[in-house]
Amino acid sequence: EIDLRVIVVGCKPGIGDSRFQELGMVPFDQVAEIYRRSHVIVIPTLEDGIACCIQEAMASGAVPITTKEAAEVFTDGVSGFEVPYRDSSNIADRIRELYEDPGLCRQMALEARAEAEGQTWARFKNEFSTIIRGL
Protein backbone atom coordinates (compact mmCIF):
# COMPACT_ATOMS: atom_id res chain seq x y z
CA GLU A 1 0.00 0.00 0.00
CA ILE A 2 1.24 3.46 -0.90
CA ASP A 3 1.45 5.99 1.92
CA LEU A 4 0.36 9.20 0.23
CA ARG A 5 -2.11 12.01 0.63
CA VAL A 6 -4.51 12.92 -2.15
CA ILE A 7 -6.08 16.37 -2.41
CA VAL A 8 -9.26 16.46 -4.49
CA VAL A 9 -10.00 19.92 -5.88
CA GLY A 10 -13.01 21.04 -7.89
CA CYS A 11 -15.54 18.47 -6.78
CA LYS A 12 -16.48 16.56 -3.67
CA PRO A 13 -17.08 12.95 -4.69
CA GLY A 14 -17.55 11.82 -1.08
CA ILE A 15 -14.73 9.28 -1.03
CA GLY A 16 -14.78 8.92 2.76
CA ASP A 17 -11.12 7.89 3.11
CA SER A 18 -8.81 9.76 5.49
CA ARG A 19 -6.04 9.78 2.84
CA PHE A 20 -8.25 11.99 0.66
CA GLN A 21 -8.70 15.66 1.48
CA GLU A 22 -11.71 16.86 -0.50
CA LEU A 23 -11.52 20.65 -0.86
CA GLY A 24 -14.29 21.23 -3.38
CA MET A 25 -14.11 24.50 -5.27
CA VAL A 26 -11.06 26.50 -4.26
CA PRO A 27 -10.64 30.28 -4.65
CA PHE A 28 -8.24 31.06 -7.48
CA ASP A 29 -5.77 32.79 -5.16
CA GLN A 30 -5.28 29.51 -3.24
CA VAL A 31 -4.67 27.26 -6.25
CA ALA A 32 -1.00 28.16 -6.79
CA GLU A 33 -0.14 27.06 -3.24
CA ILE A 34 -1.82 23.70 -3.83
CA TYR A 35 0.24 23.26 -7.00
CA ARG A 36 3.47 24.16 -5.17
CA ARG A 37 2.77 21.54 -2.48
CA SER A 38 1.98 18.83 -5.05
CA HIS A 39 4.29 16.35 -6.71
CA VAL A 40 1.70 15.08 -9.18
CA ILE A 41 -1.51 16.45 -10.69
CA VAL A 42 -4.08 14.05 -12.13
CA ILE A 43 -6.69 15.39 -14.56
CA PRO A 44 -8.58 12.36 -15.95
CA THR A 45 -10.67 14.54 -18.24
CA LEU A 46 -12.94 13.37 -21.00
CA GLU A 47 -13.55 16.79 -22.53
CA ASP A 48 -11.34 19.63 -21.27
CA GLY A 49 -8.83 19.75 -24.10
CA ILE A 50 -5.71 21.64 -23.09
CA ALA A 51 -6.51 22.52 -19.50
CA CYS A 52 -4.78 25.64 -18.17
CA CYS A 53 -4.51 23.98 -14.78
CA ILE A 54 -2.11 21.42 -16.24
CA GLN A 55 0.26 24.09 -17.51
CA GLU A 56 -0.02 25.98 -14.22
CA ALA A 57 0.78 22.83 -12.23
CA MET A 58 3.70 22.02 -14.55
CA ALA A 59 5.08 25.53 -14.02
CA SER A 60 4.96 24.80 -10.29
CA GLY A 61 6.90 21.56 -10.78
CA ALA A 62 4.06 19.03 -10.57
CA VAL A 63 4.11 16.04 -12.92
CA PRO A 64 0.84 15.83 -14.89
CA ILE A 65 -1.09 12.63 -15.50
CA THR A 66 -3.93 13.19 -17.93
CA THR A 67 -5.77 12.00 -21.02
CA LYS A 68 -4.91 12.58 -24.67
CA GLU A 69 -6.14 16.09 -25.52
CA ALA A 70 -4.93 17.61 -22.28
CA ALA A 71 -1.55 15.87 -22.72
CA GLU A 72 -0.63 18.01 -25.73
CA VAL A 73 1.34 20.42 -23.52
CA PHE A 74 3.94 17.87 -22.38
CA THR A 75 6.04 15.01 -23.67
CA ASP A 76 4.57 11.67 -22.61
CA GLY A 77 6.98 9.72 -20.43
CA VAL A 78 9.37 12.69 -20.12
CA SER A 79 7.49 15.54 -18.47
CA GLY A 80 4.17 13.83 -17.74
CA PHE A 81 2.07 10.77 -18.46
CA GLU A 82 -0.75 10.39 -20.96
CA VAL A 83 -3.27 7.77 -19.87
CA PRO A 84 -6.20 6.18 -21.71
CA TYR A 85 -9.71 7.45 -21.03
CA ARG A 86 -11.49 5.82 -18.09
CA ASP A 87 -8.46 3.71 -17.14
CA SER A 88 -8.08 4.18 -13.39
CA SER A 89 -5.65 1.27 -13.09
CA ASN A 90 -3.28 3.01 -15.53
CA ILE A 91 -3.50 6.20 -13.47
CA ALA A 92 -2.73 4.20 -10.32
CA ASP A 93 0.24 2.55 -12.06
CA ARG A 94 1.69 5.94 -13.07
CA ILE A 95 1.24 7.31 -9.52
CA ARG A 96 2.88 4.18 -8.09
CA GLU A 97 5.77 4.51 -10.57
CA LEU A 98 6.45 8.10 -9.49
CA TYR A 99 6.03 7.25 -5.81
CA GLU A 100 8.41 4.30 -5.95
CA ASP A 101 11.05 6.22 -7.92
CA PRO A 102 11.50 9.68 -6.36
CA GLY A 103 14.40 10.38 -8.74
CA LEU A 104 12.12 9.83 -11.73
CA CYS A 105 9.49 12.06 -10.14
CA ARG A 106 12.05 14.85 -9.57
CA GLN A 107 13.41 14.55 -13.13
CA MET A 108 9.93 14.61 -14.67
CA ALA A 109 9.01 17.60 -12.49
CA LEU A 110 12.06 19.48 -13.79
CA GLU A 111 11.12 18.58 -17.37
CA ALA A 112 7.50 19.62 -16.76
CA ARG A 113 8.60 23.01 -15.44
CA ALA A 114 10.96 23.52 -18.40
CA GLU A 115 8.23 22.67 -20.90
CA ALA A 116 5.77 25.00 -19.17
CA GLU A 117 8.33 27.82 -19.21
CA GLY A 118 8.72 27.26 -22.96
CA GLN A 119 5.01 27.85 -23.55
CA THR A 120 5.27 31.61 -23.91
CA TRP A 121 2.90 34.04 -25.61
CA ALA A 122 5.69 34.94 -28.02
CA ARG A 123 6.01 31.30 -29.05
CA PHE A 124 2.25 30.97 -29.44
CA LYS A 125 2.12 34.18 -31.51
CA ASN A 126 4.89 32.93 -33.82
CA GLU A 127 3.26 29.53 -34.29
CA PHE A 128 -0.15 31.10 -34.87
CA SER A 129 1.30 33.63 -37.35
CA THR A 130 2.96 30.80 -39.27
CA ILE A 131 -0.34 28.95 -39.53
CA ILE A 132 -2.22 32.07 -40.67
CA ARG A 133 0.44 32.90 -43.28
CA GLY A 134 0.15 29.32 -44.55
CA LEU A 135 -3.53 29.86 -45.31
What pLDDT does residue 45 have? 76
What pLDDT does residue 99 have? 92
Torsions phi, psi for 23 (to 5 deg): -90, -20
What does the alpha-carbon distance between residue 66 and residue 68 come to, in Å, rounded to a whole number? 7
Sign of CA dihedral 81, 70, 1, 62: positive
What pLDDT does residue 2 have? 62
69 or 33: whose pLDDT is higher? Answer: 33
Condensed to tens digits (0 to 9), the pLDDT of residues 81-103 reads 999 988 889 999 999 999 999 99
Look up the pTM and report it: 0.80
Residues with Cβ within 8 Å of 51's Cβ and at least 6 positions away in sequence, in order, are 43, 45, 66, 70
What does the buried/exposed string (b/e) look like for 75-104 if buried means 16 or more CB atoms within 10 Å of the residue's CB? eeeebbbbbeeeeeebbeebbeebeeeeee
